[in-house]
Amino acid sequence: MSHLYNSVLVGLGNISWKFDVKNGKILSHLPALVRNKHVEVVAGCSPSKNDRELFNSKHNISTYSDFEEMLKKEAPDIVSICSPAEFHYQHLKQCIQSNIKMVWLEKPALENCEQLNYLISQNNSTKIVVNYQRRYSSSYQKLKDLVDNSKYGIPTLVEVRYSRGLMNNGSHMIDILFFILSIDEYKLLWVENDIESESPSFAIRDKRGFLIIVSGVEASFHNIDFSITFKDKRFSILHNDMDLRVEDKVEHEFYPNFYRLADSNTSIFCENEDSPFVNALSDLINSYENDYDTISNLSTIYKTHELIEKILKS
């Protein structure tokens, strides 16, 4: 990275900057942008006067009420789209039409998925990273490496628990399933459809044979638990990425020649990984400078949204 890129934010809510930094962890766009020495944040945009005033009270950064005006006056290199999901397509289209170099896009609205994918088929040079940030977590990337390299064989079972809705938290969960497991072909076996639920349970069978069971939890807490079981080992990322667990097959203490799982004395996971937000931004800038596709882009999200549509239709 040899340039200084001007950056702007559209949407001044939690994911834009209000989550900020907690216990040293970067949890939103603004602190990741500020931390990057190749980026200067020059403006933010929101139709909400209260959001603009609160942002101004914390940061010495210009604000706008109109997105198009901000693009024309600031001519940014990077646009962080943190607006409500129903505005993502409109804002992304404006960025592409304005020849913005890079866009950091919060996860799109389902109903705009086809239009979003149409945009990338057009002849433009805008690089886009979609902020399914678990793709940029070293823990999930390590699990992906283990599956890709078949170090422990093919998984025998994948189990996931999630809460807070299929469209919200569930979309992150499904995206990370496709990422880690490199799912190409699958069969949707069943969907829980006998009760009204924003977090339906379902099961799919990967073409390689293993079963993926997803349990939706009606709960007040935010949660994703992810476990992959191999023949002799199990890896888990639990409590919304806060706890990492490795279990090995050991002989049972009470039953000779029988085996159970026990916590391993070693871990493959990094306890102090860098922020996925920092990694996503670096991937975006590197993709622009070296002309490659980001790890999370409009093409990679297609299967995620396709499965969501199948579940909803079921």
127 and 162 in a single domain? The answer is: no
Q: What is the pLDDT of residues 159-194, one digit of tens each?
A: 999 999 998 899 999 999 999 999 999 999 999 977
Name, in order, each residue with C-beta under 8 angstroms of 313's C-beta and a sequence gap of 6 or more.
none
pLDDT higher than threshold 80 for residue 267: no
Instruction: Write out the residue range of the structural domain in which residue 161 sits.
Output: 138-272
210 and 162 in a single domain? The answer is: yes
Residues 241, 275: contact at Cβ < 8 Å? no
124 and 14 in a single domain? The answer is: yes
- 115-135 average pLDDT score: 82
The first and second tokens of residue 257, run together, are 């020649």
Q: Is residue 302 part of a domain?
A: no
Q: Is residue 72 part of a domain?
A: yes
* 235: CATH: 3.30.360.10
Q: What is the pLDDT of residues 197-220, one digit of tens each?
A: 899 999 999 999 999 999 999 888
120 and 245 in a single domain? The answer is: no
Q: Which of 49, 45, 58 is nearest to 18 (CA)?
A: 58
Q: Is residue 307 part of a domain?
A: no
Q: How would residue 298 be classed by pLDDT, with cut points 50, 70 and 90?
A: confident
* 90: CATH: 3.40.50.720
91 and 181 in a single domain? The answer is: no
120 and 206 in a single domain? The answer is: no
Number of domains forming the structure of the chain: 2
Q: What is the DSSP letter of 109?
A: P
Q: What is the DSSP letter of 108?
A: P
146 and 265 in a single domain? The answer is: yes
37 and 117 in a single domain? The answer is: yes
Residues 157, 234: contact at Cβ < 8 Å? no
Q: What is the pLDDT of residues 92-112, one digit of tens each?
A: 999 998 999 999 999 876 567
**Residue 43 host element (H or E):** strand 39-45
268 and 152 in a single domain? The answer is: yes
Name, in order, each residue with C-beta under 8 angstroms of 120's C-beta and a sequence gap of 6 or more.
128, 297, 298, 299
Q: What is the DSSP letter of 61?
A: -
Q: Is residue 257 part of a domain?
A: yes
97 and 162 in a single domain? The answer is: no
292 and 173 in a single domain? The answer is: no
DSSP reduced 3-state for 187: strand
99 and 209 in a single domain? The answer is: no
Cα distance between residue 275 and residue 98, in whole Å: 30
